[in-house]
Structure 1
Amino acid sequence: MNYKHTLYISFLSLSVVLVSCKKENRDIAQNDTSKQADTFPHIEPDSRKLKIPTAQFIDEKRKTIDGFYKKYWERNKVSGSFLVAKSGKVIYEKYSGFSNYENEETITQDTPIHLASVSKVLTAAAIMELVHAGKFTLDQKVSTILKTFPYQDITVRMLLNHRSGLTNYAYYFDDRQKWNHSKLLTNQDILDLCVKYEAGLDFRSDKKFAYCNTNYAMLALIIEKVTGMHYATAMSKIIFEPLGMQHSFVIDFEKDIDKVSQSYKGNYKKYELNHLDQVYGDKNIYSTPRDLLKFDLAISSPDYLTPKLVEEIYKGYSYERRGTRNYGLGIRMLEWEDDTKLFYHNGWWHGNTSSYVKLKKEDVVIIALANKYTTMTYKSFHLATIFGDYPLKIEKGDLGE
């Protein structure tokens, strides 16, 4: 074999190796789902053929709900949105008041309102999608994801079910020595300053339940770390866009506060922003009842996550105190000795109050959002009794009869 022939064979062999390596690298890239938008974990819309309630059923329920609405919402001049649906069918909805009182902009079905702590339900759903995608596990230590997180025993599950023992940032940063109240606090600031000041736990992790917004501020950081996206972008990719929630978003208060539904006291005096307003995960999602109905249908679908993960969401984790109240993973619950369960989450931030009531057995959702301070949103529980046998303390007249 002459020199030229040998050189040609060597070049040919090297070319094959290079092509093979390129193909292997391309295959690896194709299998790396974290870098591909089309395989990014997201919630799928509900594909079920739902059994639509009869016209008679709708008419009967609508009359009772209308009495309830007139008693609690109209009499109290609530400014907000109200919707009741069964199996995806809207039975009753009303919109009243102003998203911007100064400009007399009325609230409609397309007006996003601050969800306050109902935002936690959606943050938890994004976390569960990432768990389902294998990005981390429920019992994984948070410190293995957020490398500077100083509490070694706290897991993702403990953040979701409020058993971490973390101190509440809203109270911790009341101390002006720790934070200048003229500046907006961020999620990363919370973590960094807890490290800097060696903030202690309020109690040993997983010892008891204590509702704490810091848990969900940290979950938002986990979402950012794992996805490589800002929380607002990740929530759009995981939840809002796949479900067609066109009127839902995470607000950036510094840029968009004047563009959204405003927050009012009971006399329509606007709430002033404070240093806690920019923190997200625990709050700061804006949405509409119709968008939340799309979300509720999706997480009610048998195709949502896996049966095991869904079971983890809707079971109670805190039994150190006797009673009906408990908390799952991003959802509150009332549970009785006969195993009847009612799932819900309430919210309050400034003048915004919210209520999301989920009757899993009856496939009913009740959504109440208000942007002028009121507690009438929380009365939505009463309506559970017209759909199922829930042992709530309902007195005559509570439903507006």
Structure 2
Amino acid sequence: MKKVTLLLSILISSCANSDKKIAEQIDQLFLSEFRPDQPGAAVLVMKDGKVIFEKGYGIADIATKEKITTETLFNTGSISKTFVSNTILSLADEGKLSLNDSLSKYFHDFKNQKIANRIKIHHLLTHTSGLPDNRRDLLEAVYLLTAKDEENWYPIEQNDSLLFEPGSRFEYSNPAFNGLALIIEKVTKKKWQDVVAEKIFKPSGMTASKITDGAYPENGVAHGYIDVLGEFSERDYGEEPTFAAAGNGGVWSSVKELAKYEMALRNGVFFKKDLVEHSRSIMRYSQWADSVPPFIGYSWFIGKTEDGAKMISHTGTQGGFHADYVSIPEKGVLYVVLCNRPFPREEFRKKVFEIMGVRLQNLVIPK
């Protein structure tokens, strides 16, 4: 018995030392990139289901010099899409909608109802609807600085043709998630932001996270910056397009709260675990015609490690905010970084996982 106890003590001590070494190397990696007097990042890493590293780097606000912590709220950019997706799935799990519902059921003003009838909710969730983003002709227009979900979706409803048959190809779509947000409202008769708070934030324990379709929250938040001729220039709401279109990028959260979100997903808090697994698996359409094999779940991007473990990820980019969220449930691993200025996201993702002894394949990071 004493020998067993001794062996267990040695094993536990070895694991603790290994985690400490990993944390030290990750810290050095981020220290090499972010200066304490400049915009920076918050980082959290989980291994074997527990947090082994969390730290803030740099400042959240150049004007006040407020330091970034792991509780600082950042705009998460397109990671927000996963919150819309999971709210849709929660409503489907409750029988309040079907992922096979056509858009024609919810959008009676769609110019071409034949097209609306061919596109299903699951096509919006997987960026495979074929709907052209005809807002691109308007991206320089002033109204896009304040255009909310409905205003961003309205031009999409005017489409009279498709880029491809729904389910046959991938075309990343921001307005698809503005449309999904509006479907949530039509089904629940509530503001979609309130429904996300009710079905995702509250059961996760995400008490500080917020969704805005206007100016950023007032307290404990980072401001976004970009480099302009060697100086940091603020890029927040009212300074960059799309901030007001909350369905595709309106969630503000911290690395601490995103870790709660991930654990709630793994534990089946929002809906059944088999639906969680299905939503975070590659959706394979029989009519797929793209030369690139499918790599998308319900809003999540799916890759794998060299030893075959599933990698689930999403990135976020909006104004001066850049984010990366990578989960490998099989290994109990989560890596989340939220930044308030650009940084070499792909390079850092690879390096962090190499430090943990995990080599990634099929690295999918949408631009």
Q: Would you call these one fold, judging by a TM-score over 0.5?
A: yes
| 2:272 aligned partner | 306
* Deviation larger for 129-138 or 332-341: 332-341
* Deviation larger for 186-195 or 223-232: 186-195
Other structure's SS at 2:233 match: coil
Amino acid at match of 2:226: K
Q: 1:175 to 1:68 in 2, by over 3 A?
A: closer
Do residues 271 (structure 1) and 247 (structure 2) align? no
| 1:111 aligned partner | 72
Structure 2 counterpart of 1:281, from 234, 247, 255: 247
Do residues 127 (structure 1) and 88 (structure 2) align? yes
Query: Partners in 1 of 2:121 and 2:96 — Cα distance?
Result: 12
Do residues 372 (structure 1) and 341 (structure 2) align? yes
| 1:316 aligned partner | 282
Structure 2 counterpart of 1:155, from 113, 116, 120: 120
Structure 1 counterpart of 2:138, from 165, 169, 173: 173
Do residues 383 (structure 1) and 352 (structure 2) align? yes
Query: Partners in 1 of 2:354 and 2:243 — Cα distance?
Result: 36
Q: 1:320 to 1:60 in 2, by over 3 A?
A: farther
Displacement of 1:64: 2.7
Q: 1:353 to 1:188 in 2, by over 3 A?
A: same
Amino acid at match of 2:156: C
Displacement of 1:88: 4.4
Amino acid at match of 2:233: K
Displacement of 1:275: 4.2
Q: Percent identity?
A: 23
Query: Partners in 2 of 1:336 and 1:159 — Cα distance?
Result: 27
Do residues 251 (structure 1) and 212 (structure 2) align? yes
TM-score by length of 2: 0.82
The within-5 A match list for 1:1-400 is: 54=12, 56-77=14-35, 79-149=40-110, 150=113, 151-168=116-133, 171-174=136-139, 176=141, 180-181=142-143, 184-195=146-157, 197-198=158-159, 200-254=161-215, 256=217, 260-266=221-227, 267-271=231-235, 273-302=239-268, 305-317=271-283, 320-321=289-290, 326-335=295-304, 339-376=308-345, 379-385=348-354, 390-392=359-361
Displacement of 1:56: 3.2
- Tell me the alpha carbon deviations over residues 137-171 of structure 1, each in whole angstroms, 9 at most, x when there is no partner: 11111221333344221111111111001223652
User: C-alpha root-mean-square deviation of aligned residues, in Å?
Assistant: 3.0
Displacement of 1:288: 0.6
Query: Partners in 2 of 1:173 and 1:257 — Cα distance?
Result: 30
- Tell me the alpha carbon deviations over residues 227-286 of structure 1, each in whole angstroms, 9 at most, x when there is no partner: 222122111111112222122010232474798421101342112523422001211100
Amino acid at match of 2:119: I
Query: Partners in 2 of 1:58 and 1:82 — Cα distance?
Result: 20
- Tell me the alpha carbon deviations over residues 52-97 of structure 1, each in whole angstroms, 9 at most, x when there is no partner: x945324313323432332344334360100001354210011011
Aligned residues: 338
Query: Partners in 2 of 1:365 and 1:248 — Cα distance?
Result: 19
Query: Partners in 1 of 2:16 and 2:334 — Cα distance?
Result: 14
State the structure with more CA Rg: 1
Structure 2: segments with no counterpart, 5+ residues:
1-10
Q: 1:110 to 1:68 in 2, by over 3 A?
A: closer
Judge conservation of contact 1:113–1:286 (CA < 8 Å) in 2: yes
TM-score by length of 1: 0.75
Structure 1: segments with no counterpart, 5+ residues:
1-52, 395-401
Displacement of 1:222: 1.2
Q: 1:58 to 1:130 in 2, by over 3 A?
A: farther
Amino acid at match of 2:200: I
Other structure's SS at 2:83 match: helix
Amino acid at match of 1:165: G
Other structure's SS at 2:186 match: helix
Amino acid at match of 2:298: L
Other structure's SS at 1:137 match: coil
Other structure's SS at 1:326 match: coil
Displacement of 1:350: 1.3
